[in-house]
């Protein structure tokens, strides 16, 4: 597989199946390494902790509100 990035860089992969990273935390960018799963899990855990303490999304500052 061959992928041409916006800056003209050509990236090749010999793997038969690849996923292209759309969120950019991947250490293998432009290919996905599932880093987004770790980020989503942390956000879910943070939300669960805030919910357990009684704080809703409306009570949190925007910088601490979970991302969708």
Tens digit of each residue's pLDDT (9 = 90 or more) over 9-46 = 999 989 888 888 888 778 888 888 888 777 666 667 77
For residue 25, being part of any structural domain is answered with: yes
- CB 36, CB 28: distance < 8 Å: no
If one counts the domains in the chain, the total is 1
For residue 67, being part of any structural domain is answered with: no
What's the confidence (pLDDT) of residue 27? 85
Q: How confident is the model at residue 49 (pLDDT cuts 50, 70, 90)?
A: confident
For residue 39, being part of any structural domain is answered with: yes
Q: How far apart are CA 48 and CA 43, in angstroms?
A: 9
For residue 28, being part of any structural domain is answered with: yes
For residue 61, being part of any structural domain is answered with: no
């Amino acid at each position: 597989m061959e992928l041409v990035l916006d800056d003209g860089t050509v990236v090749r992969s010999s793997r038969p199946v690849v996923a292209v990273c759309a969120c950019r935390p991947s250490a293998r960018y432009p290919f996905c390494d599932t880093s987004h799963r770790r980020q989503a899990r942390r956000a879910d855990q943070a939300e669960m902790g805030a919910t357990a303490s009684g704080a809703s999304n409306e009570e949190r500052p925007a910088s601490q509100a979970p991302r969708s």
